[in-house]
């Protein structure tokens, strides 16, 4: 069984689910999942977990992201992007005549953002887009997000290019729509590219055809990051044979179980390894300051 992470450079027109299906087919395994949806019309970074790595979703989905794209002004759409139908009258605008800096400054920092109705955000276990397709009105509660930076350039009188560094949970379509509302002419997201998730950017990614070719040649190492290399920001604990047995059974580590601790920036979570380099679990310190496993990976080496 293969365990690891694939950094995909998704092309336009493919859903995140379709990419997962392709990876499953290439690797002939069902244990594949993505770490955060990317709309079919968008391109760029999509993280795909394989095997044990699928259990790391919560750690990767919360990583900081960088996006670039184009916001088109003049009217709003039903989906907040170019796929939707116009929902307002078209208005003429010349962005060169507007002082954009104070307006865009209102969209940086900590914000409350309402997710678009056509999104995978769930309400009572049902994605919002399913309510939208049935014309069912539902209350969408705002989410707390953080936009760390928002840079821009005017492309033409009604198009604004941008680069945004955001927290997880940020909808760039909503950002485009909200900026249009603030200016008073309506706007939608015309193009979007996810440039980065955490430490993973476009230069470290692979197109689907490249992944297919290397997998067919048996060169998994060319496109799949090893499971043992993931989450290097977590401190690393190497345990004894006794510690290994305890951890794989969900038992907290004692001081005698620990051979070595290799510190890293994140000291809240700890990656647990045995002496042979097998990634056994992720642990956190409990109230007694012991290391208690919170995710244990099935032991395939016993």
Active site residues: 39
DSSP 237: E
- DSSP lists the bridge partners of residue 192 as 69
Distance CA 134, CA 25 (A): 33
Do residues 201 and 217 lie in contact, with contact meaning Cβ atoms separated by under 8 Å? no
Long-range contacts of 86-92 (CB under 8 A, 24+ apart): 87/186, 88/186, 91/185, 91/186
Helix (H) or strand (E) holding 51, with range, is: none
Count CA atoms within 13 Å of residue 23 on its CB side: 34
- Name the nearest CA neighbour of 208 among 32, 48, 28: 48
Cβ neighbours, 10 Å, residue 151: 11
- Name the nearest CA neighbour of 150 among 165, 134, 133: 165
Q: CA of 17: how far to CAs of 33, 35, 125, 139, 255, in Å?
A: 8, 11, 18, 26, 44
């Amino acid at each position: 069984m293969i365990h690891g992470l694939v950094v995909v450079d998704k092309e336009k027109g493919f859903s995140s689910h379709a990419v997962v299906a392709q990876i499953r087919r290439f690797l002939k395994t069902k244990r594949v999942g993505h770490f955060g949806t990317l709309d079919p019309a968008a391109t760029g970074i999509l993280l795909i977990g394989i095997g044990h790595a699928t259990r790391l979703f919560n750690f990767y989905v919360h990583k900081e992201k960088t996006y670039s794209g184009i916001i088109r002004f003049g009217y709003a759409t039903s989906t907040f992007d170019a796929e939707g139908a116009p929902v307002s009258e078209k208005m003429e605008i010349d962005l060169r005549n507007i002082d954009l800096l104070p307006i865009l400054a209102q969209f940086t920092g900590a914000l409350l953002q309402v997710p678009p109705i056509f999104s995978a955000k769930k309400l009572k276990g049902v994605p919002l887009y399913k309510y939208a397709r049935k014309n069912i009105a539902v209350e969408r509660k705002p989410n707390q997000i953080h936009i760390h930076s928002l840079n821009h350039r005017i492309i033409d009188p009604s198009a604004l290019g941008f680069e945004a560094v955001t927290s997880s949970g940020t909808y760039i379509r909503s950002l485009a729509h909200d900026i249009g509302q603030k200016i008073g002419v309506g706007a939608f997201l015309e193009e979007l590219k996810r440039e980065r998730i955490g430490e993973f950017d476009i230069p470290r990614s692979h197109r689907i055809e490249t992944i297919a070719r290397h997998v067919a040649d048996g060169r998994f190492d060319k496109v799949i990051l090893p499971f043992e290399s993931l989450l290097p920001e977590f401190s690393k604990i190497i345990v004894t044979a006794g510690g290994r047995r305890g951890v794989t059974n969900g038992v907290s580590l004692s001081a005698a179980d620990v051979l070595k601790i290799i510190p890293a920036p994140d000291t809240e979570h700890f990656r647990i390894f045995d002496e042979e380099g097998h990634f056994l679990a992720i642990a956190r310190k409990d109230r007694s300051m012991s290391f208690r496993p919170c995710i244990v990976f099935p032991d395939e080496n016993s």
